[in-house]
Amino acid sequence: MAGESGKLQVFWYPHSQPSRAVVIFCRMNKIEYEEVHISIPTGAHKTPEYLNINPMGQVPAINDNGFSLFESAAILKYLSASRGTPDHWYPKDLKLRARVDCFLDWHISNTRRGASGLVYNQVVAALVGDSLNPKAAAEGKALLVKSLGILDDFWCKEGPFLCGAEEVSIADLVISCELTQLKMLDDSEESELLAPWKNVTKWFQAVKAATNPVFDEVHGKFYASNNQLKEAKLKATTEQS
Amino acid sequence: MAGESGKLQVFWYPHSQPSRAVVIFCRMNKIEYEEVHISIPTGAHKTPEYLNINPMGQVPAINDNGFSLFESAAILKYLSASRGTPDHWYPKDLKLRARVDCFLDWHISNTRRGASGLVYNQVVAALVGDSLNPKAAAEGKALLVKSLGILDDFWCKEGPFLCGAEEVSIADLVISCELTQLKMLDDSEESELLAPWKNVTKWFQAVKAATNPVFDEVHGKFYASNNQLKEAKLKATTEQS
């Protein structure tokens, strides 16, 4: 999977929330790079060629002229430093940076684990030939609700961005792409999960305002195929009733 | 919880694996700091005073002259930078640093989630008045075994330290303290989990050699009280039989 004359390659799949965060970052910062679509449904993430880039067989990953890296937060930090992106994305100030690091680590065990546990076990599993798992989905939902409470009451409290930052950072990017994944649930459940949190709602609007039109462009394929899935499901339900 | 004339405070509990990693780091680097013991069994982590330091009510956390921070990896990165510790702990070279970041993020969702899920649901829950959960313990164990395989085959393969580093880093520190937590299991189960992995065994020895006597000193209270617990359990089993 050699890139065009050493150009940075970003391996991604639009339905992967951390993939979207990395692609938004690259596009917003006009980083010179090549997008490589890794089709999860056809198993492109399990080919020997791709496992050579990311032995975990997950997206996103990058290949920067022979240096391969995975884990979205690590990629975003590496790109911030190696491409010298504006400071607000990953501040050099030690305390501001520590807060971003702290949030991103907290996110992995809380919002990420909760949201992905819910969405995978309630929706995605059936699409990839795995079994739905209502108990695991319920556990994910409980963790997600608890995490959203902390997000509202702590991380988003000061605003406008996470940790009271004045400008958008990689922390905002990572979690906002995680929360858009809730669109895979029924509309009523997505709304039931997100609507109660006033600080989260305000913060989410601020992130979209700061990152659009790129945010919506990068989410385009995900939104479109997700809407198709929902329409097909509705049709099937209507035909059955 | 104001520190002595602004001295760095490290809030920790010896049975907390990430706490031990932070304390080992501070002692090895001769950082000027004060250890504050947060007794989890007596609920010291849930007092309003401590929640003011760490709203998540977990250990470790630090208070650096009014700046409070939690999440062990974020603390270690912050201390590396703010105290100017030797480069090998958290390399400034962008690619070496990215590998450490990548490992630490991977660890949260894999070795950490697996090991703590197993140990908590099989042993710790009963000690803190929670219910043991054999199913959750089994899920944790399965994830841990898978993760140890990846640790052996990928992260420890090049050696002597994680990611092929020549010297010990915060990544080695964090996961080695996680793996000592397996001592809370029966000796035979700990051995069954760790013994098959030759690269992991060699790496673990290298980490202890690079960090002792501090590594064992910081583990002292944990080892001692864990041995007491095991002896009490053995005595109860013998008396029952």
Alpha-carbon gap, residue A78 to A72, rounded angstroms? 10
In a domain, B68, yes or no: yes
B108 and A106 within 8 Å at the Cβ level: the answer is no
Please determine, for residue B5, whether its predicted confidence score (pLDDT) is greater than 80.
Answer: no
Same domain, A61 and A100: no
Please determine, for residue A11, whether its predicted confidence score (pLDDT) is greater than 70.
Answer: yes
Question: Using only C-alpha atoms, what is the Rg of chain B?
Answer: 18
The tally of domains found in chain B comes to: 2
Please determine, for residue A48, whether its predicted confidence score (pLDDT) is greater than 90.
Answer: yes
In a domain, A33, yes or no: yes
In a domain, A57, yes or no: yes
Cis peptide before A213 (omega within 30 of 0): yes
Same domain, B106 and B185: yes
A81 and B94 within 8 Å at the Cβ level: the answer is yes
B56 and A82 within 8 Å at the Cβ level: the answer is no
Alpha-carbon gap, residue B126 to B94, rounded angstroms? 44
Same domain, A113 and A32: no
* Tokens encoding B179: 């793996």
> What is the domain-level CATH number for residue A57?
3.40.30.10
Q: What is the pLDDT of residue B241?
A: 64
For B24, other C-beta atoms within 10 Å of its C-beta total: 23
In a domain, A226, yes or no: no
What residues of chain A lie within 8 A of the CB of B109, using their CB? 108-109, 113
Contact criterion met (CB below 8 Å) for B161 and B173: no
- Average per-residue pLDDT in chain A? 95
The contact set of B with A (CB < 8 A) is: 55-56, 67, 69-71, 73-75, 77-78, 81-82, 94-95, 97-99, 101-102, 104-106, 108-109, 113, 150, 154
Same domain, B194 and B136: yes
Percentage of chain A exceeding pLDDT 90: 90
Structural domain containing residue A53: 4-85
DSSP state, residue B89: G
Same domain, A109 and A206: yes
Same domain, B81 and B139: no
> What is the domain-level CATH number for residue A121?
1.20.1050.10
Contact criterion met (CB below 8 Å) for B157 and B86: no
Return the number of CB contacts < 8 Å for A and B.
Answer: 77
Cα A118 from chain centre: 15
What residues of chain B lie within 8 A of the CB of A71, using their CB? 101-102, 105-106
Count of helices and strands (H, E) across chain A: 11, 4
Tens of pLDDT, residues B181-226: 999 999 999 999 999 999 999 999 999 999 999 999 999 999 999 9
Please determine, for residue A94, whether its predicted confidence score (pLDDT) is greater than 70.
Answer: yes
Name the domain boundary from A50, A85, A120: A85
In a domain, A143, yes or no: yes
Average pLDDT over residues A122-135: 93
Same domain, B96 and B181: yes
In a domain, A217, yes or no: no
Distance from CA of A241 to the nearest CA of B (A): 38
Q: Which of A54, A13, A66 is nearest to A36 (CA)?
A: A13
B94 and A74 within 8 Å at the Cβ level: the answer is no
Average pLDDT over residues A61-75: 97
Q: What is the pLDDT of residue A5?
A: 62
Q: What is the pLDDT of residue A2?
A: 56
Name the domain boundary from B43, B64, B85: B85
In a domain, B141, yes or no: yes
ipTM confidence:
0.96
